[in-house]
Amino acid sequence: MYVLGDNGSGKSSLLRLLCGLMQPELGSIYWQGEQVKHVLEVFQANLLYIGHLNGLKEDLSPIENLQVNMRLAADHAEKSDVLDALEAIGVGRCANLPVRVLSQGQKRRVALARLWLTERKLWILDEPFAALDSASIDVLVARINHHLNNDGMAIITTHQDVVISAQSTQVLRLDL
């Protein structure tokens, strides 16, 4: 699902609500027919959220950032898996540099490398294409399509004109 809208229309807030980072004032959020608050562990075990901020520690390398992130998410990845993910998104040559020396596009790709390391069913991605060049966008679109074609789900906000070729793509437009 694409969530579209102008800046300030509530796209990021909606994603934070869906992830449980904010609580709704009214209504409920459901996962597999159950309120998320009643199946929180199951829901979180199926969720990968990548916000519009990269969530990287500037003094750590991309490898170290991804290893820490995987541990915090209770996921497991060998160093070789992390290197493969960085190569897949086009930043393998930066794997051992401190993140602070990377460009914004490289930092975004490091954050997005998590998509190659997870088996989570639901991806919630806030502006994943921001700061990416066209080649990186193509790689990311292919990864999202692969996920969707293998029974995955994705909720994505974007300002870019990107086409995901999943069979049942929906669009939610938020207005101010």
Instruction: Encode pLDDT of 89-144 as tens digits.
Output: 999 999 999 999 999 999 999 999 999 999 999 999 999 999 999 999 999 999 99
Identify the CATH number of the domain in which residue 58 sits.
Answer: 3.40.50.300
pLDDT at 20: 87
Mean pLDDT of 63-68: 97
What is the structure's pLDDT at 6? 86
Domains of the chain: total: 1
The domain in which residue 53 lies consists of 2-174
How big is the chain, counted in residues? 176
pTM of the model: 0.93
Mean pLDDT over the full length of the chain: 93
Closest listed residue to residue 104, CA positions, set 68, 59, 34, 52? 52
CA distances from 69 to 3, 33, 73, 79, 123 (A): 26, 29, 6, 13, 15
For residue 157 the two structure tokens come to 């906000």
